[in-house]
Amino acid sequence: MRPWALPLLGALSLTACAKPEPPRPPLVPDCTLGFEALSARIAAEPGMKPAVKERGEPFHYFNAEGGQTSYMVTEPGAPGHPAILKQEVTASGIANTGCPYGDPKGYSELEAYLQALAKARAK
């Protein structure tokens, strides 16, 4: 065996025994942070990917790695703005939760919109 191979073999055997990292717990929205801070936290969350923004929609989406959770972050002009909604796939179906910082009636419209999207996707 070549002398340079021994350190390489040692390093390979250590990595083979290393335990895989446990999955990150899902982000729990903390509405007390305020709209700007929570929006920034969602955007900076590891594994969070911004979705392609649809033209004319006054909000944008972030999708968590694994596809089980999405966040809708409103922009000026959206009903209920400012607001953040979380849509999550659960054992009992789709669950919507969020932080209604703006108009409660507009926030209800956003929730209804997300529920309609979930029903359309289920077909």
pLDDT at 105 over 50: yes
In a domain, 13, yes or no: no
Q: What is the pLDDT of residues 10-51, one digit of tens each?
A: 555 555 556 776 666 778 889 999 999 999 999 999 999 999
In a domain, 10, yes or no: no
Q: What is the pLDDT of residues 45-89, one digit of tens each?
A: 999 999 998 899 999 999 998 888 999 999 999 999 999 999 998
Residue 50 burial (CB count, 10 A): 13
In a domain, 108, yes or no: yes
The pTM of the full predicted model, rounded to 2 decimals, is 0.78
In a domain, 11, yes or no: no
In a domain, 111, yes or no: yes
Domain count, the chain: 1
Segments forming the whole domain that contains residue 111: 27-122
In a domain, 86, yes or no: yes
In a domain, 71, yes or no: yes
For residue 64, the SS3 value is coil
pLDDT at 4 over 50: no
In a domain, 95, yes or no: yes
Written as six digits, the tokens of 95 are 């669950």
